[in-house]
Structure 1
Amino acid sequence: MLYLGIDIGKNTHVASLIDETAKPLFKAFSFSNTTAGANSLLAKISAHTGCQTEIEIGMEATGHYWLSIYSFLAEKGFVVHVVNPIQTDGWRKGTEIRKRKTDIIDSVLIADLIRYGDFVETSLSDEDTLSLRNLSRFRSYLVSSISDLKRKVICVLDQVFPEYHTAFSDIFGETSKALLSHFQTADAFENITPEQLEKALEKISFKGFARNKITHISKLAANSFGLKFCQDSFALQLRLLIEQIKFIDAQVADVETEIKAILDKINSPITTVPGIGDVNAAVILGEIGDISRFSNASKLAAYAGIDASVSQSGEYQSKNNKMSKRGSPYLRKALFQAALIAAFHDPVFSAFYQKKISEGKHHLTAVGAVARKLCNTIFAVLKNNTPYIPQI
């Protein structure tokens, strides 16, 4: 049997081939991340074997750059193993005395790891699960973009109309955004004409509420301490920022609709777990993939990075181990969001949370403990494919 290790890069990959005794047959063969590059790899391999079953290929799951070459090789009938970079780092530390990391070393190291066989293969999800992961991560990006835009809106408002925020409990509510689309500065609110008012109210649902708010804001505008110069440039910024927020809000809604359609299709019991709605369900299912790759709930917790780190030397062992925070940050965030809800809305998790608080634990520490317990529940629900039953 031969073993091929591929060190993945954005534009160029590096491959090394070894035999069963770890003897290198070729090292550091560089090929481009294109069809032509992949075919050149096949030609290089064919000089040593003409049978796909006589070779095993290994590569790291590096970003998204490995997907194309993986798809190409799998379609050609090769056995391809995808491993987590954390495993190869651990293998490097165990085999490399000197601290060295190059494309050549890494490709040989991956080949040797596959030869040795002591690795856990990254699970490749089915199309629906992969779609959930892609959509949930894209939604996270969109939501983050909205947060950035909102901070910019606040920054501009603080300069041109610092009193505006006192008129609304949420300046990004629908009525407030509608008004800011038409009027951006204190002077604009103070000098609203009847025609401008009617146009602004056209697409606002609660017109009476909006009229009262405009009256209130106009009074605030009369004594505003906002800037009196460069108002046109600030007004343009504010209007465009509000338009971007509304546009991305609509995109988030579209993504959530698609997520809901996929969840309805796969009909997973995950949404029966406390604190897990459609959005969190998409994140959790997308990040976990096939639950069968985890033999127990502890391994799932470690994958989420909510397991305790271990600090031990000789007879000393730390009693205040912190959360490891390794693994999927998306999964970890989703579990914490679910735990925050479950801790106050489910009798079992609420009692567990209160128990931790009574022991003197900080709120966030107690929520972390709930997230760990929630991880056990999720593992059982997905492993057995049965809904969560609240214990009353």
Structure 2
Amino acid sequence: MRHITKVLVVGAARLLGDIGDITRFGSRAHFASFNGTAPIDASSGDQNRHRLSRAGNRRINRVLHIMAVVQLRHDTEGRAYFRRKLAAGKTPMEAMRALKRRLSDVVYKQMTADAKRLQTGPGGHAGATLQSSAADPIPIAGTSDKSLPGPAEPQPRTPLKINS
């Protein structure tokens, strides 16, 4: 159980670190293209197929892959989605690609919702304003009447004891 928690924390940290500001992606399709889960058309004749892209951020793609594998190991919505894709005639690889894309969309949706909730102000800090928080709009610093101390006086050193 501790190993699973560590994997989840590391995966979340990887997503946050590599993605950064989610608002730089205009849509979930743009985000999917960035992380390599956007499908590439591999159709031929009457066969309409898509394959997994090898482009994009491979570290984020790996986190999404681990998320997909965990979804398949447990009775989750992801496993039900995967099974529906298999029942629709997709190969296991195509169903996995579709699940990873769906998880990419979930990550995008959650991160954009979090970004809207935590609107940042100037300097990238939530709640920051251009107004000073000082009580007086123009703080005045007065000079001290006391003079500054002079140069430091030399201090005697403690002699070292040498054991012989």
TM-score bucket (shorter structure): 0.5 to 0.7
Q: Choose from 65, 78, 81 the match for 1:352.
A: 81
Answer yes or no: is the 8 Å Cα contact 2:41–2:49 preserved in 1: no
Mapped to 1, the partners of 2:85 and 2:42 lie a distance apart of 23
Q: Provide the aligned length of Structure 1 versus Structure 2.
A: 110
Partner AA of 1:337 in structure 2: I
Q: Choose from 31, 46, 52 the match for 1:323.
A: 52
Greater RCO structure (CA 8 Å; 6+ sep): 2
User: Cα distance, 1:351 vs. partner?
Assistant: 1.4
Higher strand share: 1
Q: What is aligned with 2:12? A: 281
User: Cα distance, 1:305 vs. partner?
Assistant: 1.0
Q: What is aligned with 1:292? A: 23
The CA deviation string for residues 57-79 of structure 1, in whole angstroms up to 9 with x for no partner, is xxxxxxxxxxxxxxxxxxxxxxx
The 3 A distance-change label for structure 1 pair 320 and 311 is: closer
The 3 A distance-change label for structure 1 pair 311 and 291 is: same
Mapped to 2, the partners of 1:325 and 1:347 lie a distance apart of 27
Q: What is aligned with 2:106? A: 377
Q: Match of 2:60, SS? A: helix
Q: Choose from 60, 70, 94 the match for 1:365.
A: 94
Q: What is aligned with 2:36? A: 305
Counterpart check, 1:340 vs 2:69: yes
TM-score (norm 1): 0.26
User: Which consecutive residues of structure 2, in runs of 5 or more, have no partner in the other structure?
Assistant: 1-5, 116-164
CA RMSD of aligned residues (A): 2.7
Answer yes or no: is the 8 Å Cα contact 1:308–1:323 preserved in 2: yes
Answer yes or no: is the 8 Å Cα contact 1:311–1:317 preserved in 2: no
Matches of residues 189-208 of structure 1 in structure 2 within 5 Å?
none
The 3 A distance-change label for structure 1 pair 325 and 335 is: same
Higher helix share: 1
Q: Match of 2:50, SS? A: coil
Mapped to 1, the partners of 2:47 and 2:42 lie a distance apart of 6
Mapped to 1, the partners of 2:54 and 2:36 lie a distance apart of 4
Answer yes or no: is the 8 Å Cα contact 1:309–1:324 preserved in 2: yes
The 3 A distance-change label for structure 1 pair 291 and 346 is: farther
User: Which consecutive residues of structure 1, in runs of 5 or more, have no partner in the other structure?
Assistant: 1-259, 261-275, 387-392
Q: Match of 2:49, SS? A: coil
